A and B are shown apart, each in its own frame.
Chain A
């Protein structure tokens, strides 16, 4: 009889995790909402691309050999200048969006001169990457920064909430149906919790990674390569931060959900965690132009997955800052998992009215 058994802890964690994933993927509501989320990400990128290339004519100044280049584009309104200086003067005065001036360096043979930020529309219309000179660089277009804040904030919020709620409901489903008694007569409580956290984290990570990949491919496919270049590193960090940040949130969702025994009570039990998930979203939208608030956010483990990528995008973070913040996040995650597992173990068999957090901690 025992030859048919394989009592390996790892394989049981995998079993629990796989079940979580399988059941979620079977839910039509989840598949539809994921499809809608993906489509809206793609749609907003495609819309931005179309919007960028279909605009009314862009006014540029050109001189020398660059005049020919500029006039080859139908949607550029070209002012011919006598010299490079004259063309740049027009840019300074704000009468044209950018100047195209010839260069001696090999390549396209011309460069683009702009006043305070990269002329995204123009670059999209050109479809090539000429040398770019910005006269008075403002690091990031404020509108773009706002867009980035919404994107990071919203994606974090939606994904963390979706999968946090999933693990919370899954914990309560097991309590409510009482199958938890059978489960913990078969496997240790920690194995069960670990499997659930890992399963849902894999789902959440897969969704975030898919959105990031979709956004990158979308940007590339619609010719918005300069945007992709700007967003690339922050998107990559966002995925990394989210992966660990979600493990921490999942443990918190599981622990708070284990305090109640009915699906109707999941919402109120997990509301403190919900606030922790919502706060970074609200803060990053309100304070994306405030370096101090962003700086603090990027080190607090709960808001770091939004705050740090935002600062990386804005060029405010030194190379070591995301590494340090990630270490803080990892340490916090470890502590949260330990405390969460304790609450979960103590609360799992209690049915009836909602258990107090202090009771669950004391055991």
Chain B
């Protein structure tokens, strides 16, 4: 398990991280979401030791994450970059060796990832000659090539075509299933929603929410209900504490607690047929909006 404990950081007097603490469970995909400038990249850089924290610590399996463990982390920085004039296979193998792998293992890992990410015919091409999408795949390969025991990926899906997104999701899931903690940030909330087991929400350098997707849903998701019936929206409105989200023909979406919702249902059945009555799962976007408000 990766633990971030009480991390603070300022840049030229401006505090960008306030007592940031959260956990990234082993074997789970944890999504790290927040607006631009919320502190995601700074937090990730501190986890990787690329940047020093003013105070606070990062622990991996109960031990402080220092230089002796750091080369076992896999990192994909927000701003992409590999050596433009190095060939893909050569570059991956170099990075793997730099992380401490033997040359043989480095080469075989590089080859396996090249195949897995569909770069087979690009192995001997220089990075600068690849399309942006393929450069991105190579970048993901670079963060995985040394069998990392921790994965930290800053916006791994930005700039990927839909096929590559699928591809990378598969790779990340299988790495997590192998039992390593995976933390990734993304502003594509639909992907995070689909992929993540756990979520960490950061705003203005403070952790606003952290936990499993379900827990966050029940904690923060406003309870919306969808009702298709003959009930007149104007009449429903008169219920205290109820808020109408949308009304269109016979379909009505309203916000209310469970008790009130049952009350509305009763009123509807009294009037005639109810074609649908269901709680509406809040989307991550909605949770996110509510959390940071």
Contact = CB atoms under 8 A, between A and B. Distances in A.
Interface of A: 1, 4-7, 12, 15-16, 19, 23, 26, 173-174, 176-188, 349, 351
B100 A182 contact: no
Contacts of A19: 94
Contacts of A181: 45, 48, 50, 75, 77, 79, 81
Main secondary structure of the interface of B (DSSP, over half): loop
Contacts of B206: none
Contacts, number: 81
B84 A186 contact: no
B117 interface: no
A4 B75 contact: no
Interface stretch (B65-73, B228-236, B258-266, B279-287): B65-73
B71 A7 contact: yes
Contacts of A1: 147, 149
B98 A187 contact: yes
A177 B50 contact: no
A184 B80 contact: no
Interface of B: 45, 48-51, 67-68, 70-73, 75, 77, 79-86, 94-95, 97-102, 105, 142-143, 146-147, 149
A108 to B, nearest CB: 60
Given A15-B94, A177-B84, 18 more contacts: A1-B147, A1-B149, A4-B102, A4-B147, A6-B100, A7-B71, A15-B97, A15-B98, A16-B98, A173-B83, A177-B82, A179-B83, A181-B50, A181-B75, A181-B79, A184-B49, A185-B73, A188-B67
B101 A4 contact: yes
A184 B52 CA distance: 12
21 contacts: A5-B101, A6-B102, A7-B71, A7-B100, A16-B98, A23-B83, A174-B83, A177-B83, A178-B79, A179-B81, A181-B45, A181-B48, A181-B77, A182-B81, A185-B49, A185-B70, A185-B73, A185-B75, A187-B71, A187-B98, A349-B50
Nearest to B41: A181
Contacts of B100: 5-7, 12
A53 B72 CA distance: 67
Nearest to B97: A15
A185 B73 CA distance: 8
Contacts of B80: 178
